[in-house]
Structure 1
């Protein structure tokens, strides 16, 4: 394939490996080669994800057939990759049987209610998956750091959340807590990209601009959250998310491994990368060794 023809078409259309190799041999333009490689890699990754996305549809069918419910909490710092992962998880799902819930600021009425009440109102019906893009764990990190709750409200939450979750599990709900763990350096890079890219500037909020400055405060709250809310019945799954594709790929596997659904494709390796998907205990150990924070708070 001649290089002039490649310029006449979308680089993302270059899908054939043989064509890709020819371009590598024939094209003297290094920047163009990098772009071709980036686009080819992206499409290859999307194909890999699609294999698992087919399995997610099977999981949905299983839940619907057996009238089962599933709740997935997706937590993490801003720019940790939560939104992109949720979009990949739900891309081909049956819209009738899943919802993504991202609640805004509570109303005056909601502030006067039991803290968990507005979340409970969003719980799944039989045969449905509900994914919380941020959840009641706002009260364990964002709210106390920015003063959106009182110390008493924070302590009450920390003392009651595990019993609340274990009650959900006792009632037969498939319950999964995922935390996307991004490094400070990578978060900074993603914030800079949001500032410079007009298509992503809407993602950058006033609070985001303070995230780097308050990194240690969030780390202290994260440490306590993982230490006190990780239980045998309701554990946290930590996904290291500096590499977006690897994080998304392993997040979908984590979800698929939560339910013993029917018609699972035996050709797929459902094991997760142990360097990417780790336990809360392992994350706490890493934080204790590397963080310059007071972990005894």
Structure 2
């Protein structure tokens, strides 16, 4: 199913109380994660988007709302870090979440194929095969009972340029600047063509994309956190598990056991 990113460029500020909305979302995410933990459900969350689109700030908000002992953040740098001796998806298999856990991919398998396509290292046949392999991979996770939330943060060229300029001017933020950005400001026309194609092939019913209008920072943050919470609410059971063999009841120790200790 195709996605038109130009529909996510309004940058309308959030109409309510930002602090109140963020606090409510934090409580909501924490409650949903508790259901995930006790029901031993798995969750995968992907953060993709333009360089300078606010992904890192939203990631901090999201992780700050969750129990960090059940969350793993994986930063995907690029194809240079991959092992050529293995299938290109192999490193992601080893980082999938265990029962009750969440893995957040800050950039993902999509970034690897997008990078190769943008650099001209992936012809039409290999590109189609890679997208098919991604769809199969995500379908396998869904069939295994794993929640998948895929977020793409979109900003206009003007917003992106302003964000990158602010990074460059701050000596403490310059390290965040990718000096060869694959979907940076100089490659937008080509990147838009490639993105349009991969959305058309990977926006599946079992793992749909959620575009985030990140042109207003706080509105984009609230939209992204809401999207994750909505997806969790569809997936995580609303009721606590019944008492059974998998639940160990609390037992007050006897006086003799306390004294012996």
The answer (yes or no) to whether the contact 2:74–2:105 under 8 Å persists in 1 is: yes
**C-alpha distance in 2, partners of 1:106/1:75?**
15
TM-score computed with the length of structure 2 as normaliser: 0.78
Residues 1:193 and 1:109: Cα distance change in structure 2 (over 3 Å): closer
Deviations 1:29-77 (A, max 9, x none): xxxxxxxxxxxx9xx6344312211111111111110010000111111
Deviations 1:70-102 (A, max 9, x none): 001111111111111111111132111111111
Residues 1:144 and 1:92: Cα distance change in structure 2 (over 3 Å): same
Matched residue, 2:122: 150
The answer (yes or no) to whether the contact 2:155–2:215 under 8 Å persists in 1 is: yes
**C-alpha distance in 1, partners of 2:228/2:218?**
16
Residues 1:218 and 1:107: Cα distance change in structure 2 (over 3 Å): closer
**C-alpha distance in 2, partners of 1:109/1:146?**
16
Task: State yes or no: 1:185 paired with 2:158.
Answer: yes
Matched residue, 1:95: 68
Structure possessing the higher relative contact order (Cα contacts under 8 Å, 6 or more residues apart): 2
Task: State yes or no: 1:138 paired with 2:114.
Answer: no
**C-alpha distance in 2, partners of 1:229/1:216?**
20
SS at match of 2:186: coil
Which structure 1 segments of 5+ residues have no match? 1-40, 264-297
TM-score computed with the length of structure 1 as normaliser: 0.69
SS at match of 1:246: helix
SS at match of 1:100: strand
Instruction: Let me know the Cα RMSD of the aligned residues.
Output: 2.2
Aligned residues: 220
2:224 to 214, 232, 251: 251
- Write out the 4+ residue segments of structure 1 that deviate beyond 6 Å after TM superposition: none
The answer (yes or no) to whether the contact 1:140–1:225 under 8 Å persists in 2 is: no
- Bigger Cα displacement from structure 2, 200-209 vs 216-225: 200-209
SS at match of 1:206: coil
Question: What aligned pairs does 1:69-218 form with structure 2 within 5 A after superposition?
Answer: 69-105=42-78, 110-147=83-120, 149-151=121-123, 153-208=126-181, 211-218=184-191
**C-alpha distance in 2, partners of 1:158/1:245?**
32
Deviations 1:149-189 (A, max 9, x none): 43254332123221221121111101111111111111011
